[in-house]
Structure 1
Amino acid sequence: MLAELTIRNFAIIDSLGVSFNKGLTVLTGETGAGKSIIIDAIGLLIGGRGSSEFVRYGTAKAEIEGLFHFDENHALKTKCEEFGISVSDDMAVLRREINENGKSICRVNGKLVTLSILKEIGQTLIDIHGQHETQYLLQPDKHLLLLDSFAGKEFSMLLSGYQETYSEYKDIQKQLKKLTEDEQQIAQRLDLLDYQLQEIDAAGLQENEDNDLQEEKNKLSNFEKLYKHLHDSYENLYGDGRGLDLVSNALAELSAVSMIDEDLRKKEESLASCFYALEDLTYQIRDSFESLEYDSGRLNEIEDRLNEISKLKRKYGHSVEEILAYAEKIRKELFVIQNKDENIDALKKSFEKVKEKLMKQSEKLSQMRKKNAAVLKEAIQKELKELYMEKTQFDVMVETQGISVEKYFGPYGTDEVEFYIAPNPGEPMKPLAKTASGGELSRVILGLKSIFTKHEGVTSIIFDEVDTGVSGRVAQAIAEKIYRVSSDSQVLCITHLPQVAAMADTHLHIAKDTDGKRTVTKVTALDSSDKIQEIGRMISGVEVTDITKQHAKELLDLALQFKQTS
């Protein structure tokens, strides 16, 4: 859920901080007070298109920041892992700045991200629905995914098995395409791979050779420096009156009194160990500088070899290991091409087996989808009836492509799914996105949301005046439906309907004020008496009378009764 929202220098908003709660939160206020501006800010926070017009006049940038809480298994975690964003305590902070030149800076949990990444993450958190927007639910290419999300565990397992087979199918198809390409292209590829492999093999590379050579080169290039410092180090340790001799004298002095005290004996043993270790190290230093030998010819050989390896790196990889791995890869590809006919025959046999398996799995998917479509149709029909659209006919069309279709198999099977609707009796069924009017569309979308909210996984849903154009019993039905949706997801709703406002768990009033110089937007959380006053204003329009207040209180009482029995 969206827990905190901070907005600075955005449109007419100077500085605004809003806390949100679970359940249903309504935002009301006069037209132009800034309700939709707050929703616009949230839209930008989750990756919406921004521009310099959003930056408050006279300021350098607009800032929007939101704190979200989410469940442990929420899709956001997977998305953040995918983009290398750390997540802790099941919280996420999204931040977006829009400069006066229109450019954006986006962050998720403090990490800079692109706008496209912000959008991907934002879509897992909030779904904004406005009356005139093209929504996810109205996009025909998403209807199949919605139907599948409505299905149960058995269908999910079947789909998972199909997708594994489909991946194998596409892989074999890709290999066959490579082997059956134009003969000239294959011949050119064969020549190229053969040349590359010969070049790498001729070099006779050894693993980690470049690092070993570089280390040897450093020693030869610094021969004089190495010899001098190793020799001086040895001289300081070995000889009369030098370091090793002085430690030996100290050991002898300590040994002379070690029998007097147990603690001194332990110190003597410790010093003796240090002496023998130092003595051994001294001889090792001597061996190191005595073994040094400068060979200018060897240095030239190393430089030539490193240059040869460097040329191969520019072509085949950043390291010797990558070059050798590439050689192994093209060796296998060469074998496949050189034995093309045998491989084509083997792949065709495998392809037919996988295709047959895929066909059986897709048929099972189609059968189950059609059963689920019938169940979904009834569930949505029930929702529409509760919204006083009992004469509206809704259908979930599942059309299976014929095997003659060029792209027969897809990642989700062979089906195409689209929602159809006939708002009035006697009319033919037509695609949902092309049929319903504004008021009807609001109710249909609300009905669909009631069904799919549990399956979409978003933490918050925003309804931006989806109740426009309705009144009376329909308004009451919409209020009850929005409240039911809020039982599974946090819902923020901009409304002009007193019935919806009365159903709120939290009621925020948006008002526009002038501080003498600039216009600012303020948000106030209403208590019980303020709710009565605001709902009364929504009922009467201008003057709030005692009768209007009484009506508002009745609405709140009825809403409370509904919540208690819902």
Structure 2
Amino acid sequence: MLQYLTISNLALLESASIEFDEGFTVVTGETGAGKSVFLGALSLLSGSRSDKTVIRSGEEQCEVEAALKFEDPTKINEALKELGLPECEDGVLLLKRSLRATKASRISINGSLATLANLQALGSLWIDFHGPGEPQRLLKNECQLEMIDLFARLHSEAEKYRMAYDDWKRTLSEIERLRNTTKLTQDQIEFLKQQIDRIDALELSPESVEQLEIDFNRVASSQDLIGLSIELGSGLTGDNGVVASLSSLMSAAKEAAEMDTSLGELAGRLEGVILEIQELGAEYEMMGSSLDFEPEFAEQVQSRMTDWQDFRRKYGRDVADVLEAREEMARKIDSQGDIKGALDRLHEKADEREADLKAMAAGLTRKRKKGGEELARKAEAVLLELGFKKGKCGLDLVKQSELKSYGDALPELLFSPNVGEPLKPLNKVASSGELARVMLALKTILANVDSVPILVFDEVDANVGGEIGKMVGQRLKGIGNNHQVVCITHLPQVAALGDNHFVVEKDQSGDRATVCIEKLNAKDDSRVVELARMLGDREAGSALSHAKELLAENAQVSIES
């Protein structure tokens, strides 16, 4: 359940802090009052993309924050764990998103920095939006398929089929690749084998390449290093070197120590310096000797470095690229050995998988037919309440000429709004108003099998009114028994049924327009006044009286989901 939502500097809204309750929440306001700000805040937290134009003019950033309480947080915690984010404390999920005018945007989930992809992954688990464009989606077979799979709880089976389908398509792609493989000449095969042998001879690894570069640099500069080593060794320990000069001073230091025993420590330190310099000189002489490489070693290092540089130019700059190129060359050689045999094996594999797929697709189609027909029967009953006294619904499954990623048939929902008329596809018979009611009927049925806890309906009651509007409201209120429902509406019949009521108002009395969101309370008549406005005149006695009647009537109604 959405517990609270705070918004600052979003579009025309300076700031708002909104607390929510369970059940059916309605949001009303004049056309253009800014109800979209309310939806925009929820949309931002669900991971929708947005640009910086939504930031209130003159402000550095806009920010939205929400807390959601889950009675059973198992599913959301599993998702958080998979994303590497902190789990919910006491079942509460904290979401925060800031859009900044001049800096990078920031997202946090349960206090930890997160990404837009993280918000999107979680958004599908806690909120579902149903907007004015939904009825048009109903004309698409893919949308109808999605609804039937949700109603019949076939998502897991459909996903298993899709994975098997993808595997089959990969096999077909491999067959096509082999068919197009050019037969290599013997010279081309020999060249590839030579390349592989040269790469193998290098025994490539990051460590071996590092050592090769060290050896190459030493060999390349060996003559210069030998000269410097000889110069340093001679300067330290030669006949006229530092040690020779210090040795005469050592004699003087010993003589001074015999005269004054307190100078013995200094003499010892000088002797230590002489020994250290002797060791340094010896090490420089040894280094010079070690740099006098055997010609064979120097030639080997040079050859290995030449090969390595050649491979880097051809196949890529690092070891992994060269080794991958080596494997690809080996695959090309292997494929030359028995292309026909490889194709035969792949064809056999593809045929087996196609047979399995056809069986899986047939099973899915049978279950979709059964589920779709049950959904149509239930929709028919709901449409009766929504004004279609003789309306009929049905389902046709259109067989496809070949297997698709969804199966072997697409559903076609059928509808007849009037008695005596045959069932036809929705796009052939339904007007915009009729289509909106069919979609609403299906959505209210599917809401009972939808695990998403928060459902947002944005003016789904458009194109209906009067008694039908009241029935729509009752259906939405019924969904509120199992979900938290937020509905933006222009119909007073729907608004009066809300367990909670917010009004959005735009104020243009000052220097700049502002939007505010206020929770209405029936006890102080603010809700009565808003309903009267929706009925036509907030000051008219008849409208106020009618508003009170709507609230009183709905307070006594208990609606089942």
Structure-2 separation of matches of 1:390 and 1:180 = 61
The sequence identity of aligned pairs, in percent, is: 29
Are positions 1:95 and 2:79 aligned together?
Answer: no
Structure 2 residue aligned with 1:253: none
- Structure 2 matches for 1:235-250, cutoff 5 A? none
Structure-1 separation of matches of 2:405 and 2:43 = 31
Structure-2 separation of matches of 1:296 and 1:60 = 68
Structure 1 residue aligned with 2:486: 492
Q: Is the 8 A contact 1:394 1:421 kept in 2?
A: yes
Structure 2 residue aligned with 1:562: 557
Moved more, 128-137 or 18-27: 128-137
Change (3 A) 1:77 1:296: farther
- Structure 2 matches for 1:370-385, cutoff 5 A? 370-385=369-384
Letter in 1 for 2:513: T
Letter in 2 for 1:201: D
Structure 2 residue aligned with 1:8: 8
Cα offset, 1:186, TM superposition: 1.7
| Aligned partner of 1:503 among 497, 507, 530 | 497
Structure 2 residue aligned with 1:531: 527
Q: CA RMSD in A?
A: 4.3
1:35-82 deviation line (CA, Å, top 9, x unaligned): 23322444455465756654434445554455555664558965994x
Task: Report how many residues are paired.
Answer: 493
Are positions 1:516 and 2:510 aligned together?
Answer: yes
Change (3 A) 1:167 1:64: same
Structure-1 separation of matches of 2:488 and 2:360 = 46
Structure 2 residue aligned with 1:263: none
Cα offset, 1:7, TM superposition: 3.3
Are positions 1:38 and 2:55 aligned together?
Answer: no
Q: Is the 8 A contact 2:61 2:101 kept in 1?
A: yes
- Structure 2 matches for 1:104-253, cutoff 5 A? 105=105, 107=107, 109=109, 113=115, 122-132=123-133, 136-152=137-153, 159=158, 162-163=161-162, 165-181=164-180, 186-187=182-183, 195-196=191-192, 198-205=194-201, 209-215=205-211
Structure-2 separation of matches of 1:383 and 1:487 = 17
Change (3 A) 1:11 1:217: closer
Structure-2 separation of matches of 1:190 and 1:433 = 63
Are positions 1:359 and 2:379 aligned together?
Answer: no
Cα offset, 1:348, TM superposition: 2.4
Q: Is the 8 A contact 2:196 2:329 kept in 1?
A: no
Are positions 1:472 and 2:466 aligned together?
Answer: yes
Give 3-state SS (helix, strand or coil) of 1:409's partner. Answer: strand
Change (3 A) 1:134 1:391: closer
Structure 2 residue aligned with 1:266: none
- Structure 2 matches for 1:379-418, cutoff 5 A? 379-401=378-400, 405=401, 408-418=402-412
Cα offset, 1:371, TM superposition: 1.6
Give 3-state SS (helix, strand or coil) of 1:518's partner. Answer: coil
Structure-2 separation of matches of 1:516 and 1:190 = 86
Structure-1 separation of matches of 2:390 and 2:343 = 59
Q: Is the 8 A contact 2:531 2:538 kept in 1?
A: no
Structure 2 residue aligned with 1:421: 415
Greater CA radius of gyration, 1 or 2?
2
Structure 2 residue aligned with 1:305: 304
Change (3 A) 1:411 1:76: farther
Where in structure 1 are there 5+ consecutive unaligned residues? 229-284
Change (3 A) 1:460 1:106: farther
Cα offset, 1:478, TM superposition: 0.9
- Structure 2 matches for 1:323-362, cutoff 5 A? 323-324=322-323, 326-328=325-327, 330-362=329-361
Letter in 2 for 1:143: Q
Cα offset, 1:145, TM superposition: 2.5
Give 3-state SS (helix, strand or coil) of 1:204's partner. Answer: helix
